[in-house]
Amino acid sequence: MKNLLGYLKNYKKETILAPLFKLLEASFELLVPLVMASVIDRGIGGNQTDYIVKMCLVLVLLGVVGLACSITAQYFAAKAAVGFAARLRHALFEHIQSLSFSGIDTIGTSTLITRMTNDVNQVQSGMNLALRLLLRSPFVVFGSVAMAFTVNPKAALIFAVTVPLLMVLVFGIMLVNIPMYKKVQAKLDGVLSLTRENLTGVRVIRAFHREEEEIRDFSGRNQELTGIQLFAGRVSALMNPLTYVVVNGAVVLLLRRGARQVYEGGLTQGELVALVNYMTQILVELIKMASLIISITKAIASGNRIQGILEIPSGPDRDGDKSREDLACTEGIGAGQTDAGTPKIIFDHVGLTYHEGGEEALSDLTFSIEKGQTVGIIGGTGSGKTSLVHLIPRFYDVTRGRVLVDGVDVRACAPEELRRKVGIVMQKAVLFQGSIRENLLWGDPDADRAVLEQALEASQSMEFVREKEGGMDFQVSQGGKNLSGGQRQRLSIARALTRRPEILILDDSASALDFATESRLRRAIRELGDETTVLIVSQRISSIQHADQIIVLDDGQAVGIGTHEQLLADCQVYREIFETQVSGREAGGVRGDKEVSE
């Protein structure tokens, strides 16, 4: 948590002025009982109306000045807390953007959302309260005790006993409650995670008629959270009655002893009222302090959770100084200046193990891809197809071996330079809220209309885009929910083509397309020219059989590399996939598809 305080560095003035003005307000508050004592003893006791009016004006002045100080302190505290939270949220979001895929996979999306929202809000609230009350409450408590001793040392001995007793009571309840609030936060994470999962998968839940089971699961977790919160609330609820019992007992004792002293002349009536007021101030401030510490405890717990995210190593360094390798990468793959004959992509004995993944997801992959080639990657579910292509833009780092692009190890490249060369279409087509044009411009913000139209034509999207109201200005809803699966896939491909990449990766990105549309798409991709190297991940033989090279994966290993004809002759895994898919009517469909593509 202490590392997060660095985000307050732009608010040094506010962090000083906020508690300072609160201390000024507290100082004026400590003077009020003395003024009241003077009004009672001198004004009322001496029947001096003018003096009473004058002292009442002094009380009004103290109240107005105290209110002004309080508002000023609140302004500075709020400015510092909100600014601190804004900078923290920005830093957290920026760090999340820099995390590798492994880091995001390990943490989980729901956890990151909770950290960005609930935890940051808790830290902001705790910071606001700390700036206003962390110094004020102890100042008032000990100031009241000190002022009581200046009024009457003998009567003030009751304070010396009452204050420690109250502090033991208040902080004892807090020590019980603090671990409970940590459990509450953990249970809240679980409820939020389940809620997000249900909202995301609501269609699947309804399709399998699992509403009742999910409602019971949610109710169970919610009851656990409610139970812990109720227990913590009940413990907290003990604070007010117990502290009031102690304070009222102290007040009764104070009145009894004070009355005797008043009778004996050792204490005035006004001084006795002042002592009672100081006792009341102590009670109020101790209760405030208890609530403050609980809030600060929550904030610290949330801050530690945020710090845990910030301490997770990011992916490839985005902002660091470029090393010589980075410069070489920029001069090589960044500028497209490579030696003639150097393969575009080389996998050199590559192995990949995911974080806490146990066995290798990819094992000893060795092959090369020439510039301008179209390469198909095929294999069964879980064979490592997506893992393979994610190594090229360095979404994951190899755990052994090397991946080279234009002869340079991708780990020696500035990620921006590397990824600027790569256009990738993920398995799940993701579109963002906004117009079709805005989504396409993610590929290249400077692309003109001609480039966008060319990308739409190549991706077979132009036909349905023209039919949409507004054409490229048609508004896409969040996640592209107002488009079909095939339309989302084609627009995702168009977005990648807008970048005019040197390496185009299509990760099973035509699964929602019919054979005729997919055939036209493949033909358009082949017409991109020899400057673009294309990798097509697919489970369809028809999608990759015309590739210059096909890589067959099985359990993370390359069991076959070659052309369609070579693999049919030499690779049993490929032959089994072919025979499974190409039979009867499907075989005719593939042959027909071949004729269309040719």
pLDDT at 383: 87
Distance (Å, rounded) from C-alpha 148 to C-alpha 141? 11
How far, CA to CA in Å, does 87 sit from each of 9, 11, 82, 195? Answer: 10, 11, 9, 28
Backbone phi and psi for residue 62, each to the nearest 5 degrees, phi listed first: -60, -40
Q: Which CATH superfamily is domain 2-310 in?
A: ABC transporter type 1, transmembrane domain (1.20.1560.10)
The set of residues, in sequence order, having a beta carbon less than 8 Å from that of 515 and lying 6+ positions away, is 542, 589, 592, 593
Q: Which CATH class is domain 427-500?
A: alpha beta
At 1 the pLDDT is 65
Beta bridge partners of 423: 504
**Helices then strands, each counted (H, E), the chain:** 23, 12
CA distances from residue 226 to 122, 239, 295 in whole angstroms, order as listed = 19, 20, 19
Phi and psi, residue 312, nearest 5°: -70, 125
Return the domain boundaries, the chain.
Answer: 2-310, 371-395+413-421+502-598, 427-500
The owner of tokens 């508004």 is 475
> What are the residues whose beta carbons fall under 8 Å from the beta carbon of 86, sequence distance 6 or more?
none
Q: Look at the alpha carbons of 413, 414, 417, 421 in this order and tell me if their dihedral is positive or negative.
A: positive
Residues in a beta bridge with 367: 347
* Sequence-distant (≥ 6) Cβ neighbours of residue 472 within 8 angstroms: 435, 436, 437, 440, 452, 456, 465
pLDDT of amino acid 520 = 87
Cα 123 to Cα 101: distance, rounded to the nearest angstrom: 27
- Give all strands of the β-sheet with 345-352 in edge-to-edge order: 362-369, 345-352, 400-405, 408-409
Note the pLDDT of residue 586. 45
Residue 564 vs residues 136, 420, 509, 546: alpha-carbon distances, Å: 79, 31, 21, 7
Q: Using CA atoms, how far apart are residues 335 and 307, in angstroms rounded to an integer?
A: 38
- Yes or no: say if 460 and 517 are a contact pair by the CB < 8 Å rule: yes
The dotted CATH code for 371-395+413-421+502-598 is: 3.40.50.300
For 93-127, letters b (16+ CB in 10 Å) and e give eebbebbbbbbbeebeebbbebbbebbbebbbbbb
What 3-state DSSP class applies to 249? helix
How far is it, in rounded angstroms, from Cα 122 to Cα 118?
6
How far apart (Å, rounded) are the C-alpha atoms in residues 402 and 180?
49
From first to last of its 598 residues, the chain has per-residue pLDDT tens of 677 888 888 899 999 999 999 999 999 999 988 888 888 888 887 788 888 899 899 999 999 999 999 999 999 999 999 999 999 999 999 888 887 777 776 677 777 887 888 889 989 998 999 898 888 888 998 898 888 888 888 888 888 888 888 888 877 877 887 778 778 877 877 887 788 788 878 888 888 888 899 999 999 999 988 988 888 888 877 877 888 888 888 888 888 888 888 888 778 888 888 888 888 888 788 778 777 877 887 788 788 888 888 888 776 544 333 443 443 444 444 444 455 567 889 999 999 988 665 688 899 999 999 998 999 999 888 888 988 999 999 888 888 999 999 989 998 888 888 888 898 998 888 888 899 999 999 988 888 999 999 999 998 999 899 988 888 999 998 888 888 888 999 999 999 999 888 999 998 888 778 888 888 888 888 887 778 899 999 888 888 888 999 999 998 899 999 999 999 998 999 998 888 887 643 444 444 444 333 3
- Which pLDDT value is given to residue 350? 93
Domains 2-310 and 371-395+413-421+502-598 share a fold: no
